[in-house]
Amino acid sequence: MIIRKLVSAIVSCVLVMIIYFIIEQSGFVILLGMYLLPILLFYGIPASILSDFATKKLRGVICGVLALLIHLILATLFILIPILFSEWERNILLSDIESLLENFFLYTAILSSCLFWCIDEFLKSKRVKEIRKKIDALKIY
């Protein structure tokens, strides 16, 4: 399971970098990847494990939707909590809610958490059983 989550984190980071590179071809994409990958590894993987633990008794569409909501909520909290602890940014946020909705980091967090969830669900599905066997065969010694 950890290897699947690790693969999901790396692939979602690369996809976010590709999406932003398509939008604007600059070196900023490399900086974004250097910022995003550790966050996905140290925050996204535990958040995804928590999501799996919270939805392990559910099946079907309800399980998937609830897991997606947990991913999105935790990604949003990752951005909102530092903003709310900063007095200067909290005053701006409370006076102008549009500034939060236009926040680049919020967009990036939501995009990366959606991609992380999609890739993880794809790797969990029975359709990719052969790929999953190859991923699970990877061992970390």
Residues in Cβ contact with 124 at an 8 Å cutoff, skipping those fewer than 6 apart: 4, 132
Q: Of the ranges 19-33, 56-70, 106-120, which is most confident?
A: 106-120
Write down the pTM of the prediction: 0.81
pLDDT digits (tens, 9 = 90+) for 77-127: 998 888 777 766 666 665 666 666 667 888 899 999 999 999 998 888 777
Band the pLDDT of 61: cuts 50, 70, 90: confident
pLDDT digits (tens, 9 = 90+) for 119-132: 998 888 777 777 66
Per DSSP, 86 falls in state S
Residue extents of the structural domains in the chain: 2-136
Q: Per the structure block, which two tokens stand in for 60?
A: 């079907």
